[in-house]
């Protein structure tokens, strides 16, 4: 109840204040100039609309279409770039795997080749050493045989010199 009393008293004071301030209603003259102004406005609107307003609205609409088209194109390109990047990454992973496998294969082949070459080198060194030992043993035998043959003559000569006469 208190709120409705406050509202009604506020409305009454506003009405009373507006009547005292304006001194009454506003007088508006409605004559031929209003009709002439209205006709001039309509004619001007009819002339200006196709010359300025329609091209301006078309330009704004075209700009909106281009902007939306460019945004759509940008989104499409961004999605394609994402897909291309994903494919690139997957292909790069495949290439890395293949390269790692190839590298491992080459490493294993290199180790096998190294082992085979070391074995061949060992065998060659052993063969050369055996041939050297055989050659040395043959030469030693040849020297022994020759020493054996000449040892009797050398012994006779040494005895002859020691005794001072010839020994037979």
Residue range 126-140, pLDDT digits in tens = 999 999 999 999 999
Give this prediction's pTM: 0.40
User: What would you report as the CA-atom Rg of the chain, rounded to the nearest whole angstrom?
Assistant: 63
Mean pLDDT of 39-64: 92
| CB distance 167 to 159 below 8 Å | yes
- All structural domains of the chain with their residue ranges: 36-160
Residues 6+ apart with CB under 8 A from 160: 166, 167
Handedness of CA 153, 158, 161, 165 (dihedral sign): negative
């Amino acid at each position: 109840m208190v709120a409705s009393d406050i509202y009604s008293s506020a409305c009454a004071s506003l009405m009373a204040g507006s009547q005292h301030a304006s001194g009454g209603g506003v007088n508006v003259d409605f004559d031929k100039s209003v009709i002439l102004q209205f006709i001039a406005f309509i004619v001007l609107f009819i002339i200006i609309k196709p010359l300025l307003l329609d091209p301006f609205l078309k330009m704004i609409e075209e700009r909106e279409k281009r902007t939306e088209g460019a945004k759509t194109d940008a989104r499409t390109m961004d999605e394609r770039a994402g897909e291309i990047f994903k494919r690139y990454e997957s292909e790069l992973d495949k290439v890395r795997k293949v390269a790692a496998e190839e590298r491992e294969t080459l490493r294993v082949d290199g180790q096998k080749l190294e082992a085979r070459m070391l074995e061949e080198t060992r065998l060659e060194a052993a063969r050369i050493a055996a041939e050297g030992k055989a050659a040395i043993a043959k030469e030693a035998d040849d020297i022994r045989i020759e020493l054996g043959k000449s040892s009797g003559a050398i012994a006779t000569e040494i005895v002859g010199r020691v005794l001072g006469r010839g020994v037979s």
